[in-house]
Amino acid sequence: MTDRPDSSPDKARPLWYARSPVPTPLGIAVHLGWLNGELSADGVAIRSLRDSTGHDASSLSDHTLAMSFRQGGSIPAMWARSQQANTRVIGLSWVDESQLILTLPGSGIESVKQLRGRRIAIPHRPTDRIDIFRASALRGFVNALSLEGLTTRDVELIDVQARTLQAVGNDPSAELFTLPLGLSSRSLYAAEAGALLRGAVDAIYVKGSIGLEVAQLIGARVVIDIGFHPERHIRNNNGTPRPLTVNGEVLAHHPDIVAGFLKLVIAAGDWARTHPDETVQYVSHETASAIEWVHAAYGANLHHHLGVNLEEESVAALHDFKNFLVEWDCLEADFDIADWIDPRPMADALRDTFESTSRRRA
């Protein structure tokens, strides 16, 4: 059960935040203890949904929870918006991450061009409301193939049945290898990796620190890593950019709190820029990956890329990815990105930050 939308400006109600287990400035703010659920001066507490026992965990990803903030992948956020969820984007972060096309040694595939005519694994979780990994893999392959003038018509797309994300964390023996939500991080690409090892497919897509670990575990060959390609649109996927959203009722009734929350997230990104080692440690905890894998997956300059903004280039990338999801029937309805974004909280937060800095310097 999830909260029903409440139009009353009741400041006694707690606000909730949720985040995906990936590098985000919201995650940095949480690890710094800046969002610990204590009451603010006006009696509002902002609490982590992970610590709540009164909400359905699925509301974390599908944005059905009222009175909440969320930062994570753009696929669930856009899926919810296409379902007319009352959310607004108030910021975007862009953290480049490894996006690998993998094959096995001996496959004869050493370049993207050699994927022509080959079997490409596309994970499929038909019972999940939001098939995040399917859409992400499709995007990764489409972007990689485009570098050689190829399309999905030049390869054979093979559906690979995967365990639902809700079921991944049910095995208590996997407790030591889980993300904060209880999802077994080492199982996220199990179906694709298994299909590759069995010879059922010729190439798979993985990303992030977990993807790199999977690649090493199965002894895979990296055909290409598009996660750090010089062309930004090739890197555009579920995590690039990641939207920070807020429920519409919160924005309507608590604009001051939204601006204050956003200032903390912005400040967390600023803090990260001057604390590279601590930042990597926090991301290691967030992703349940060793520090060495975090460095490999997100690059040596990760601490410089945890800012949050509404830069035109990032907004355009969000729009481009939305169009891709519509084209591939990953969203049930189209919507206008410009209507989804509300720039006012960002403007308020930046203005307040500028004024505070000016007063300190005066």
Span 293-346, pLDDT tens digits: 999 999 999 999 999 999 999 999 999 999 999 999 999 899 999 999 999 999
Residue 205's H or E segment, with its range, is: strand 204-207
Residue 57 lies in a domain: yes
pLDDT band of 66, cuts 50, 70, 90: low
Tokens of 312: 């035109």
Mean pLDDT of 133-144: 98
Mark whether 69 and 144 lie in a shared domain: no
Residue 230 lies in a domain: yes
pLDDT of residue 96: 98
Q: Is the pLDDT of residue 265 over 90?
A: yes
- Terminal CA-to-CA distance of the chain, rounded, Å? 51
Contact assessment for residue 215 and residue 127, using Cβ atoms and an 8 Å cutoff: no
Query: Whole-prediction pTM value?
Result: 0.87
Mark whether 135 and 60 lie in a shared domain: no
The C-alpha atoms of residue 163 and residue 127 are separated, in whole angstroms, by 9
Mark whether 209 and 103 lie in a shared domain: yes
Mark whether 187 and 259 lie in a shared domain: no
CATH number at residue 221: 3.40.190.270
The C-alpha atoms of residue 241 and residue 69 are separated, in whole angstroms, by 17
Segment 280-286 long-range contacts (CB within 8 Å, at least 24 positions apart): 282/27, 282/28, 282/31, 283/23, 283/27, 285/31, 286/21, 286/22, 286/23, 286/24, 286/27, 286/31, 286/180
pLDDT band of 108, cuts 50, 70, 90: very high
pLDDT band of 355, cuts 50, 70, 90: low
Show the DSSP H helices in 128-199 as ranges: 132-146, 165-168, 190-198
User: Which domain range does residue 322 map to?
Assistant: 15-95+240-361
Query: What burial class does residue 141 get, using C-beta atoms within 10 Å of its C-beta: 0-12 exposed, 13-18 middle, 19+ buried?
Result: buried
Mark whether 32 and 79 lie in a shared domain: yes
CATH number at residue 284: 3.40.190.10
Query: DSSP readout, 153-172?
Result: GGSEEEEEE---HHHHTT-G
Q: Is the pLDDT of residue 241 over 80?
A: yes
pLDDT in tens, 193-236: 999 999 999 999 999 999 999 999 999 999 999 999 999 999 99
Residue 2 lies in a domain: no
Q: Where are the beta strands (DSSP E) in 79-155?
A: 87-93, 99-103, 119-124
What is the number of domains present in the chain?
A: 2
Mark whether 304 and 348 lie in a shared domain: yes
Residue type (1 letter), 107: S
Mark whether 221 and 312 lie in a shared domain: no
pLDDT of residue 200: 98
Residue 4 lies in a domain: no
Mark whether 85 and 103 lie in a shared domain: no
The C-alpha atoms of residue 65 and residue 214 are separated, in whole angstroms, by 33
pLDDT of residue 165: 72
6 or 138, higher pLDDT: 138
pLDDT of residue 106: 94
Residue 7 lies in a domain: no
pLDDT of residue 109: 98
Residue 6 lies in a domain: no
Q: Is the pLDDT of residue 254 over 50?
A: yes
Q: Is the pLDDT of residue 156 over 50?
A: yes
Contact assessment for residue 147 and residue 233, using Cβ atoms and an 8 Å cutoff: no
pLDDT in tens, 80-107: 999 999 999 999 999 999 999 999 999 9
Mark whether 208 and 193 lie in a shared domain: yes
Mark whether 115 and 220 lie in a shared domain: yes
Residue 267 lies in a domain: yes
